[in-house]
């Protein structure tokens, strides 16, 4: 990965710093940190996201809190699907892929159980919130 570009958004930057130091979210939520390469900047970007996992496989949800636009990290993943995911103090490489159809439905349901606000976020926007599955790189 290239040089690190901390988020210009205070709470994102502070959450990532806290998580990397402690392995937990500042408020006790169950999160992970996704590391991508900025599609425009080429810099390493880190984003705290809700932890969505099933049988050792992870998914990340591009909800943006139900806003009408996709989060920046989603564009980064589309541009370069090679990502790192930190869960606690464990960091591993993954290959990200957007899922559709039945696989998306399955992961969306898992996500809504892990973080029920996702259903509310979907109701706030006309865009279909992307669901990304992270396949381990061996």
pTM of the complete model: 0.94
Q: Return d(Cα 37, Cα 25) in angstroms, integer.
A: 22
Coil/strand/helix, residue 80: coil
Give the pLDDT confidence of 77-126 residue by residue, as tens digits. 999 999 999 999 999 999 999 999 999 999 999 999 999 999 999 999 99
Phi, psi of 135 (to 5 degrees): -90, 130
Give the pLDDT confidence of 45-77 residue by residue, as tens digits. 999 999 999 998 999 999 999 999 999 999 999
Q: Does domain 10-136 have CATH number 2.30.110.10?
A: yes
């Amino acid at each position: 990965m290239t040089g690190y570009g901390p988020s210009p958004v205070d709470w994102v930057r502070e959450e990532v710093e806290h998580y990397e130091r402690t392995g937990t979210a500042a408020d006790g939520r169950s999160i992970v940190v996704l590391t991508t390469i900025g599609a425009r900047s080429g810099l390493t970007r880190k984003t705290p996201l809700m932890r969505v996992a099933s049988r050792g496989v992870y998914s990340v949800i591009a909800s943006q809190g139900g806003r009408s636009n996709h989060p920046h990290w989603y564009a980064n993943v589309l541009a370069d699907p090679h990502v790192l995911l930190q869960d606690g103090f464990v960091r591993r490489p993954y290959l990200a892929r957007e899922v559709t159809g039945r696989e998306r439905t399955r992961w969306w349901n898992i996500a809504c159980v892990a973080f029920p606000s996702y259903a509310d976020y979907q109701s706030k926007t006309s865009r279909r919130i992307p669901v990304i599955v992270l396949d381990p790189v061996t």
